A and B are shown apart, each in its own frame.
Chain A
Amino acid sequence: MVKKIMTGNLAAAWGAKISRAEVIAAYPITPQTIIVEKLAKFISDGELKAEYLRVESEHSAMAACIAASQTGARTFTATSSQGLALMHELLHWASGARTPIVMANVNRALAPPWNIWADHTDMMSQRDTGWIQFYAESNQEVLDTIINCYKLCEDRAIQLPAMVGLDAFYLSHTSEIVDIPDQDIADKFLPPYKAFYPLDVEHPLSVGSLAMPHQWYSEFRYKIYKSMEKVIPKLNKIEKEFNKEFGRNYTGPLDLYQVEDAEIILVAVGTVAGTVKDTVDYLRSKGLKVGVIRLRLFRPFPSEELIKALKNASFVGVLDRSFSFGNEGQIFSELKASLYQTNRDPLIKDFIVGIGGRDITTDTVKKIYENCQKCLKNKKIDQEIEWTNIKV
């Protein structure tokens, strides 16, 4: 076990290296570029045995990963923002083809106007592509989640791709101490990938051909739905094993902080959760019953786990770092939908924060909690959606 100080980008590259990715497709985009640069260096230095494809676009990066995965290789790529948007067509293809590709995505805003800073719109817009979606809070989590994703995605029962989101600059370019798992223990935890139906001249198959409405198309889609249902139980099992092997304490789809007796709970995704946790500590010291749920997994959406975690809350504030224009923040929508099936009816409000990398400080979070308290006291929300710190 070696501890190093590294950025989130380097942690992502280390995650792919420790996972022994065999085919890596690379295309640069700020703030992701360092991930594929580091992987190129690992290969140049002989520290990683992999085929490195310098493709001409993110679109081709994903296409190459899909075909390589279908030929039986463990594949990795990384992107961000516009690059992820360009991949969109092939994200559907990757899940439809049941390829266990793992991708790091540095969460960044979409243009115009140009903006390279943290924002979750890029990944939220890929919600329905059939990818498992993780959002990390620390560089350690970036590295570990990539390893866990391979184990999860390559499971016979799952066979789906996963993306791991890391917030632009807050993680991608910020250094933290990261504990690098020992390669030999990691190799035991994550054995080499064995594709179930690879392209093989000894066993020729036609893969991905036309499926008619009356035949099998619906059934192929149904099977993705069923596999997604198995992701959370599998993830819990895999992380339990990972925690034991590597001395961590991952808790599956949710990271709960001071929620047990909390009246007001904020639901957050990504790095902002750290700021919220600090604020919770401060407010708890003042005697307030507040807590935070960090959503680690957005797809599949952990409805049951959220409902359970919110069972004692009277007020739920959702922090969305993205927005579905014409409606509301995506997490807010999904959480409300989850609560609809229960007899629980807490007050719930959507706070749109940190769009395009605008800083979310402890002061911002304190104001959000104050607003929640006020609404709770009035037993009524003042407005359903609040764009926080907006200057107009």
Chain B
Amino acid sequence: MNRAGIPIEEYVCSGHSACPGCGALLVLRYVLKVLGKNTIVTSPACCFTAIAGMFPDTCIEVPLLYNAFETTAASASGIEAALKIKGKKDNTHVVAFAGDGGTADIGLQAISGALENGHNIIYVCYDNEAYMNTGIQSSSLTPMGATTTTNPIGKEAGWKITPKKNMMDILVAHNIKYAATVNPSYPIDFVKKVEKAKATKGFSYIHAYSVCPIGWRYQPELGLEMGRLATETGAFPLYEVENGKYNITYKKKTKNVLEYYKLQGRFRHLSEDFINDVQVYIDQEWQKLLLKEECSKK
């Protein structure tokens, strides 16, 4: 049953131990709403290990297998292989659910392997832009300008000056069948994309914007507003790539990145000049994305 196009069934129940305003749990909640009961989730060491509950408790109503940090994609491929040989794969979705560190850093090799091998799994990265479970260390998905405990502000050095790795491009370079960015602030768009991933035969990838009030330093009640600003400023564009064809699903890039950055303590130290550099970078990336979409139509 649906309400505004979103299934009302819940597979994430109460009793979890997420921080107030956590985005990760919201991401999994929407994913499971779409995929339903016949889903097996595997997740590495990450915030979610703490969120889902300590043994013997759990807040997830589908089978959940914890795996080692860098093995999410390999574990998902193992589950898929076992389901196949047991004749159960056609009815079961296998979801790899990992954070940005587990995806873009330590787990990248395993993703590349499993994707190239054509495993039929849905890989969901909840991107909260740092190693939050261990206490806010930079990952390769930490954005330009953010300070973390491994990019501390000091006399000699400071915030992260390099931009986020583009995971979507990395996966598109593997000729992935379906990859999309999602943002819980846009739930209908989110659900549609998970439905496409669900229908994909082969490896699909969902890159989910996942707010973290603790690590980003803002008031937890501002989570959904933060998400809208991320997309409206182009810091986190919403798009999908289906068999190599780009489609931007939210085109109203109407705001300056300053509006997004100024709400978060992790960017508080930045000079106007640096924020201008960030703006230039984001504008360039947006133009590239528009061109990719344009090329896709030809």
Interface residues of A (CB under 8 A from B): 22-23, 25, 49-51, 53-57, 59-61, 63-73, 75, 89-90, 93, 199-201, 203-212, 215-216
Q: How far is the CB of B47 from chain A (nearest CB, A)?
A: 12
A216 to B54 Cα, complex, angstroms:
10
| Cβ contact within 8 Å between A64 and B66 | no
| Cβ contact within 8 Å between B39 and A201 | yes
Report if A209-B54 is in contact (Cβ < 8 Å); known contacts: A68-B82, A73-B81, A199-B63. yes
A353 to B112 Cα, complex, angstroms:
42
A23 to B74 Cα, complex, angstroms:
13
Report if A201-B78 is in contact (Cβ < 8 Å); known contacts: A56-B109, A71-B83, A206-B53. no
| Cβ contact within 8 Å between A51 and B82 | yes
Q: How far is the CB of B23 from chain A (nearest CB, A)?
A: 21
Q: How many residues of B contact A (CB 8 A)?
A: 47
Contacts of A56 in B (CB 8 A): 109-110, 112-113, 116
Q: Flag B116-134 by CB within 8 Å of A: 1 or 0 each.
A: 1100000000000000000
Report if A209-B79 is in contact (Cβ < 8 Å); known contacts: A54-B117, A63-B71, A204-B63. no
Report if A66-B78 is in contact (Cβ < 8 Å); known contacts: A206-B52, A210-B54. yes
B50 touches A (CB below 8 Å)? yes
Contacts of B91 in A (CB 8 A): 201
A216 to B57 Cα, complex, angstroms:
12
Partner of B65, one of A23, A64, A208: A208
| Cβ contact within 8 Å between A55 and B113 | yes
| Cβ contact within 8 Å between A216 and B81 | no
Q: How far is the CB of B258 from chain A (nearest CB, A)?
A: 40
Contacts of B61 in A (CB 8 A): 204
Contacts of B39 in A (CB 8 A): 201
Query: Which residue in chain B gives the minimum CB-CB distance to A211?
Result: B55
| Cβ contact within 8 Å between B37 and A53 | no
B85 touches A (CB below 8 Å)? yes
A59 to B73 Cα, complex, angstroms:
12
Query: Which residue in chain B gives the minimum CB-CB distance to A61?
Result: B74
A56 to B119 Cα, complex, angstroms:
13
A89 to B67 Cα, complex, angstroms:
11
Report if A204-B62 is in contact (Cβ < 8 Å); known contacts: A63-B71, A68-B79, A71-B82. yes
Q: Flag B136-168 by CB within 8 Å of A: 1 or 0 each.
A: 000000000000000000000000000000000
A90-B71, A210-B55 known; 7 other A-B pairs, CB under 8 Å?
A22-B82, A50-B85, A71-B40, A73-B81, A73-B82, A93-B68, A209-B58
A200 to B39 Cα, complex, angstroms:
9
Contacts of A51 in B (CB 8 A): 81-82, 84-85
Q: How far is the CB of A22 from chain B (nearest CB, A)?
A: 5
B86 touches A (CB below 8 Å)? yes
A63 to B114 Cα, complex, angstroms:
12
Report if A25-B66 is in contact (Cβ < 8 Å); known contacts: A201-B39, A212-B54. no
| Cβ contact within 8 Å between B54 and A211 | yes
A203 to B88 Cα, complex, angstroms:
14
A-B contact pairs, 20 of them (CB 8 A): A22-B85, A22-B86, A23-B78, A51-B82, A53-B78, A53-B117, A57-B113, A66-B78, A67-B76, A69-B82, A71-B82, A73-B82, A201-B91, A205-B58, A208-B65, A209-B54, A209-B57, A210-B50, A215-B54, A215-B55
B103 touches A (CB below 8 Å)? no
Query: Which residue in chain A gives the minimum CB-CB distance to B111?
Result: A56
B42 touches A (CB below 8 Å)? yes
B264 touches A (CB below 8 Å)? no
Q: How far is the CB of B78 from chain A (nearest CB, A)?
A: 3
Report if A206-B79 is in contact (Cβ < 8 Å); known contacts: A57-B113, A89-B68. no
| Cβ contact within 8 Å between B55 and A67 | no
Contacts of B68 in A (CB 8 A): 63, 89-90, 93
Contacts of B40 in A (CB 8 A): 71, 199, 201
Query: Which residue in chain B gives the minimum CB-CB distance to A209?
Result: B55
A198 to B63 Cα, complex, angstroms:
9
Q: How far is the CB of A121 from chain B (nearest CB, A)?
A: 24
Q: How far is the CB of A219 from chain B (nearest CB, A)?
A: 11
* Chain B 203-240 residues near chain A, CB threshold 8 A: none
A67 to B42 Cα, complex, angstroms:
9
B18 touches A (CB below 8 Å)? no
| Cβ contact within 8 Å between B113 and A60 | yes
B64 touches A (CB below 8 Å)? yes
B181 touches A (CB below 8 Å)? no
A200 to B66 Cα, complex, angstroms:
15
Contacts of A57 in B (CB 8 A): 109-110, 113
Report if A64-B38 is in contact (Cβ < 8 Å); known contacts: A49-B85, A50-B85, A204-B62. no
Partner of B74, one of A55, A208, A210, A216: A55
Report if A53-B77 is in contact (Cβ < 8 Å); known contacts: A60-B71, A208-B65. yes
Q: How far is the CB of B62 from chain A (nearest CB, A)?
A: 5
Interface centre among B40, B82, B114 (most CB of A within 10 A): B82
Q: How far is the CB of A323 from chain B (nearest CB, A)?
A: 29
A201 to B37 Cα, complex, angstroms:
7
Contacts of A59 in B (CB 8 A): 70-71, 74, 110
B60 touches A (CB below 8 Å)? yes
Contacts of A67 in B (CB 8 A): 42, 65, 67, 74-79, 82
Closest 10 CB pairs of A and B: A56-B113, A67-B78, A71-B82, A63-B71, A64-B78, A60-B74, A208-B66, A206-B58, A73-B82, A51-B81
A216 to B71 Cα, complex, angstroms:
24
